[in-house]
Every structure is written in C-alpha cells, then in structure tokens.
C-alpha cells in the first residue's frame, strides 16, 4: 500500500523539473547510468578497416584474372563484371552494417549522419550490381558467340545458384525503385519499410553464386573463408544489435504504459513504467524506436524522442498526431506492454564543443530539446528558442521555462504563421548576439532544421558546433 502511494505521488511529479516537497521527502532517486561518451576515433578506425576491405576486394579481382583470360573473347567484359560484382556486393554489406545500429557508430554519427551516409552510398551497390549482370551476360555471350537473350536463358537455367541470384537482383532493383524520393512519398512508410527488409533476403539469396562461380573464390579456399566470415560477421552484428539487444533490453526493463497525458491539441505524453530505469543508459535528446504491443500496433516500431530524462520507475515520450501510429498512441490503455530499440542518436550534450548552447525547436521538435535541456549542465546558460504556429502548440513550455531558469538561460517563444513571424538571420542575431560562442542544437521538422542549419552556416557558425535532429526519414 505504501509503495502504491509513493508511486502515485511520483507519477504526478514526473516531468516536473523542480521536485515537490512530497517527492523530495518520500523518494530517493538512484543515480542514473550515463551512456558512454561517443568515441570518434573508433569510427575512424572502422572506416579505415572498411576502406582496406574494399581495396582488398578490388585487388582480389585483379589477381584472379590472367592476361590470356582477359584478352580472350568476352574476357574484358567478364573481368569488368567480376570487378563490379564484388565491389557492389561489398558495398551492399557496408550498407547493411551502417543500419545495423552498432552502438559506437550510432553514438558518433547519430540518426541524421547514418541516413546521410546510407543515402549517399545506396546508389553505388545497386548500380554496380546491375552493371555486373550486364557485363557478365555480354562477356559470356561474346565467349560463347551466342545472342544476349539466349545467354540470359543459359545463365539463369544452367549455372548453379544463378536463378536465386537473379531473384536477388530483382529484389534489390525493387528496393532501389521504392527508395526514389518521388516513389517513396507515395507509399505508406510501413510498406516502404517492409520492402526495404527484402535487402536481407536478397543478400542471402545472392551469397551462394558468388562462392560457386566467382573466379576469386573457385579453387581459393582462403578467400572463401574470409568472404564467408565477413558475411557471417555482418549477419551476427545485425542479429545482435537489431534484434537481440532490443529483445533483451525490453525484457529486462518490462516496459509498459502507465498513463497518457494530454499536452495540447493533437499532442499527448505517454508515461512508460519499468524496472531498473535508472540503469537504462540514455542521454537527453536521444530517441527510441517504440513498439507498442497491442493487436494492431505490435508489428511497427516508430521513432520518438524521450521528452524527459528517465526517473525510476518512469520514462516519457511526447507525441504529435500526424498519422495512424501517432494518433493511436493517444488511445493507449495503461498496462500495454512496450518494446524498444535504442537509445539512438547523437543529439546529446556529448556533442557540445563550447561551454554555452543555443537550443532551437520547431513544433514538436520541442520533445528532444526538452530532455536535452534537462541533461545540460547548470552552467550552460542556454538560450532556447521555441517556434510554433499557435500559442497552444507550445507544449511543455512551463517545464522548459523552469529548466531555463534553473540554468540562468533565456527563453524566446516565437509564435505565429511563418509569413508573420520569420526566424531569419537578423532576428537570430538579435536574439542571440553571442551566437558564435555557442553550440547550436536544432530539432524539428526536416524543412525547419535544414533552413536553420543553412542559416547558421551562413552566419559562419563552425560545422562542429551545429547539431541537428530532423523528425523525418
């Protein structure tokens, strides 16, 4: 009974930045486990390993080819096919590694960085693998002095594992097509995501033909072992970090919905309860991919930032209704079990380079900003700018006001339509005259974040002092 009373009191107080006398009297808070700081040196070392791997893969193609093979009919095309095939498959593995959420990479690059890398590498493996299929078909047709279409039939039906490899390439092309911005915009995110998962299947289907037919592998047991080890290692990392760790973490903390609080029109906070939440190493500004285990929602995980630091036994996210998933969260029943992947993101105090900070939030971007602010040292004298179209959209404003006061900072609320209230360079400098002595943290919808980052760069804020989290894919 006493325990229940204590819980109820704490639940009321959770999210408040100054503790109520009752809470201070009754509750002793365990020290939170802090996440390890990011280690850029490790990521640089990993980049070197990836670069060396690519060099070795390319070199392997050259050593597997003799001069007479190259000058025979079709030899040049087959060589180009082998080169593009191996390089393309290698880069596809790197792409899988990039999204496998390896913690030390995640902590340095964050969601925005990983997506940027993913997007810039993505066209390469697909283009190289299409080129591989074309070169090999042309080369084999030239060598056999047959027509291209006849050769396609021969390759697919008579060569081992080639049918599987052809299906794999088809799947990769499908993923490429749905990833084009114009197509992606027309698809539901869930459909897009499910199609994206076929990449794992495509890679698995293509594996055997590489080992069975690739000149770098046939009769070369050492390269077979090394290549297989690279694939198994990648699969192991994906299984560990994308599936194993989230399952273990979710079981360990036994997360469940405790309460849904209305914060404003279309915005609700979901208070999550759980065991040992003081041991959940999460920084302010980070996010989890949340899976609410109801009949209709268990199969989809969406990213939402924490809007307050965990205080055992609670954790909080705050969500604006924009579509099916976010709307359904406002109707969650207490007791609903929750699974999480994460925490993810580099939008944290660890990114700070200067002693002072400027925090800017557009709309619902205020969630990540609120927890980041709570995590900043009291000496950071933050300037906080909240941008919203309507007064009632300024959710969590009281909590932010209190946190700013505790840190002797300044809060500016810019409310109104974009035409009427424009956060341009002049206004930014007027509100923050010492802009160059601060780190800029900006969070919100993609357009807002892009605009602000461009503005800061224009005003010569150094790149390493600009940190952003866009609430978009």
Ligand X SMILES: Cc1cc2nc3c(=O)[nH]c(=O)nc-3n(C[C@H](O)[C@H](O)[C@H](O)COP(=O)(O)OP(=O)(O)OC[C@H]3O[C@@H](n4cnc5c(N)ncnc54)[C@H](O)[C@@H]3O)c2cc1C
Stretch that binds ligand X, among 25-33, 252-260, 299-307, 454-462 (CB under 6 A): 299-307
Buried b (16+ CB within 10 A) or exposed e, 384-393: bbbbbbeeeb
User: Based on CB atoms, which residue is closest to ligand X, 27 or 326?
Assistant: 326
Across-strand partners of 438?
Answer: 356
Across-strand partners of 357?
Answer: 439
Q: Examine residue 322 and tell whether it contacts ligand X (CB under 6 A).
A: yes
Q: Examine residue 326 and tell whether it contacts ligand X (CB under 6 A).
A: yes
Q: Examine residue 217 and tell whether it contacts ligand X (CB under 6 A).
A: no
User: Based on CB atoms, which residue is closest to ligand X, 276 or 446?
Assistant: 446
Q: Examine residue 325 and tell whether it contacts ligand X (CB under 6 A).
A: yes
User: Based on CB atoms, which residue is closest to ligand X, 381 or 472?
Assistant: 472
Task: Give the span between the Cα atoms of 407 and 399, in whole angstroms.
Answer: 13
Question: Is the omega angle on the peptide bond into residue 256 within 30 degrees of 0, that is, cis?
Answer: no
3-state DSSP percent of the chain in helix, strand and coil, to 5 = 55, 15, 25
Across-strand partners of 311?
Answer: 314
Q: How far is CA 425 from the centre of its chain?
A: 30
Shortest distance, CB of residue 198 to ligand X, whole angstroms?
18
Shortest distance, CB of residue 306 to ligand X, whole angstroms?
8
Shortest distance, CB of residue 363 to ligand X, whole angstroms?
9
User: Based on CB atoms, which residue is closest to ligand X, 100 or 318?
Assistant: 318
Q: Examine residue 36 and tell whether it contacts ligand X (CB under 6 A).
A: no
CB of 284 closer than 8 Å to CB of 372:
yes
Nearest-CA neighbor of 316 among 274, 363, 359, 364?
A: 274
Q: Which of 107, 132, 311, 320 forms a contact with ligand X (CB under 6 A)?
A: 320
CB of 5 closer than 8 Å to CB of 22:
no
Q: Examine residue 302 and tell whether it contacts ligand X (CB under 6 A).
A: yes
Q: Which of 189, 410, 412, 436 forms a contact with ligand X (CB under 6 A)?
A: 189
Size of the residue set binding ligand X (CB under 6 A): 22
Pairing of strands 302-311, 287-292: antiparallel
Stretch that binds ligand X, among 170-178, 205-213, 323-331, 386-394 (CB under 6 A): 323-331
Q: How far is CA 222 from the centre of its chain?
A: 35
Stretch that binds ligand X, among 20-28, 147-155, 277-285, 322-330 (CB under 6 A): 322-330
Q: Which of 55, 160, 244, 323 forms a contact with ligand X (CB under 6 A)?
A: 323
Q: Examine residue 472 and tell whether it contacts ligand X (CB under 6 A).
A: yes
Shortest distance, CB of residue 29 to ligand X, whole angstroms?
24
Task: Give the span between the Cα atoms of 97 and 120, in whole angstroms.
Answer: 15
CB of 261 closer than 8 Å to CB of 268:
yes
Task: Give the span between the Cα atoms of 242 and 199, in whole angstroms.
Answer: 15
Q: Looking at residues 269 to 288 of the shown chain, list those that interact with ligand X (rule: CB under 6 A).
A: 287
Stretch that binds ligand X, among 123-131, 140-148, 247-255, 314-322 (CB under 6 A): 314-322
User: Based on CB atoms, which residue is closest to ligand X, 88 or 345?
Assistant: 345
User: Based on CB atoms, which residue is closest to ligand X, 35 or 53?
Assistant: 35
Q: Which of 94, 105, 319, 358 forms a contact with ligand X (CB under 6 A)?
A: 319
Q: Examine residue 449 and tell whether it contacts ligand X (CB under 6 A).
A: no
Task: List, as one string, the DSSP characters of 321-363.
Answer: --SHHHHHHTTPPTT-BEEEEEEE-S-SGGG--SSEEEEEEEG
Cβ contacts of 20 within 8 Å, gap of 6 or more: 9, 12, 13
Across-strand partners of 341?
Answer: 289
Q: Which of 303, 343, 382, 444 forms a contact with ligand X (CB under 6 A)?
A: 303
Q: Looking at residues 97 to 126 of the shown chain, list those that interact with ligand X (rule: CB under 6 A).
A: 111
Cβ contacts of 38 within 8 Å, gap of 6 or more: 104, 107, 108, 346, 350, 351
In whole angstroms, how large is the CA radius of gyration of the chain? 26
- Angle 316-318-320 from CA coordinates, rounded to 5°: 165
Q: Examine residue 364 and tell whether it contacts ligand X (CB under 6 A).
A: yes
Shortest distance, CB of residue 119 to ligand X, whole angstroms?
14
Q: Examine residue 183 and tell whether it contacts ligand X (CB under 6 A).
A: no
Q: Examine residue 367 and tell whether it contacts ligand X (CB under 6 A).
A: yes
Q: How far is CA 155 from the centre of its chain?
A: 39
Residue nearest to ligand X (CB): 323
Contacting positions for ligand X (CB under 6 A): 111, 189, 287, 302-305, 317-320, 322-326, 364, 367, 469, 471-473
């Amino acid at each position: 009974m006493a325990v229940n009373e204590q819980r109820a009191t704490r639940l009321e107080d959770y999210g408040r930045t100054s503790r109520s006398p009752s809470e201070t009297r009754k509750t002793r808070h365990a020290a939170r486990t802090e996440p390890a700081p990011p280690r850029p040196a490790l990521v640089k070392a990993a980049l070197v390993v990836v670069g060396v791997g690519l060099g070795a893969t390319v070199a392997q193609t050259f050593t597997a080819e003799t001069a007479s093979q190259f000058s025979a009919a079709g030899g040049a095309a087959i060589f180009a096919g082998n080169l593009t095939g191996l390089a393309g498959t290698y880069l596809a593995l790197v792409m899988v590694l990039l999204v496998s959420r390896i913690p030390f990479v995640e902590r340095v690059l964050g969601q925005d960085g990983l997506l940027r890398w993913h997007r810039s590498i993505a066209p390469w493996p697909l283009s190289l693998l299409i080129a591989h299929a074309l070169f090999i078909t042309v080369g084999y047709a030239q060598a056999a002095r047959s027509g291209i279409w006849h050769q396609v039939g021969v390759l697919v039906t008579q060569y081992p594992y080639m049918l599987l490899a052809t299906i794999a390439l088809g799947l990769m092309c499908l993923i490429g097509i749905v990833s084009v911005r114009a197509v992606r915009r027309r698809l539901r995110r869930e459909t897009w995501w499910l199609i994206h998962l076929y990449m794992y299947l495509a890679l698995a289907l293509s594996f055997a033909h590489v080992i069975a037919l690739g000149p770098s592998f046939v009769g070369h047991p050492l390269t077979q072992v090394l290549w297989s080890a690279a694939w198994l290692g990648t699969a192991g990392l994906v299984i560990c970090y994308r599936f194993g760790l989230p399952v273990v973490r979710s079981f360990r903390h036994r997360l469940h919905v405790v309460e849904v609080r209305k914060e404003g029109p279309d915005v609700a906070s979901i208070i999550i309860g759980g065991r040992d939440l003081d041991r959940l190493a999460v920084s302010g500004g980070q996010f989890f991919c949340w899976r609410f285990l109801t009949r209709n929602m268990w199969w989809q995980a969406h990213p939402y930032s924490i809007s307050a630091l965990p205080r055992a036994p609670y954790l909080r996210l705050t969500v604006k209704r924009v579509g099916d998933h976010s709307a359904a969260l406002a109707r969650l029943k207490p007791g609903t079990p929750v699974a999480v992947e994460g925490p993810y993101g580099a939008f944290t105090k660890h990114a700070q380079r200067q002693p002072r900070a400027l925090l800017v939030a557009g709309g619902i971007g205020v969630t990540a900003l609120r927890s980041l602010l709570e995590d900043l040292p009291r000496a950071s004298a933050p300037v906080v700018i909240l941008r919203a179209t309507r007064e009632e959209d300024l959710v969590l404003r009281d909590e932010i006001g209190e946190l700013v006061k505790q840190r002797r900072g300044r809060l500016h609320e810019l409310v109104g339509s974009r035409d009427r209230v424009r956060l341009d360079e002049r206004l930014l400098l007027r509100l923050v005259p010492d802009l160059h002595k601060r780190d800029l943290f900006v969070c919100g919808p993609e357009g807002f974040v892009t605009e602000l980052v461009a503005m800061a760069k224009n005003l010569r804020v150094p790149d390493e002092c600009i940190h952003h989290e866009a609430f978009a894919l």
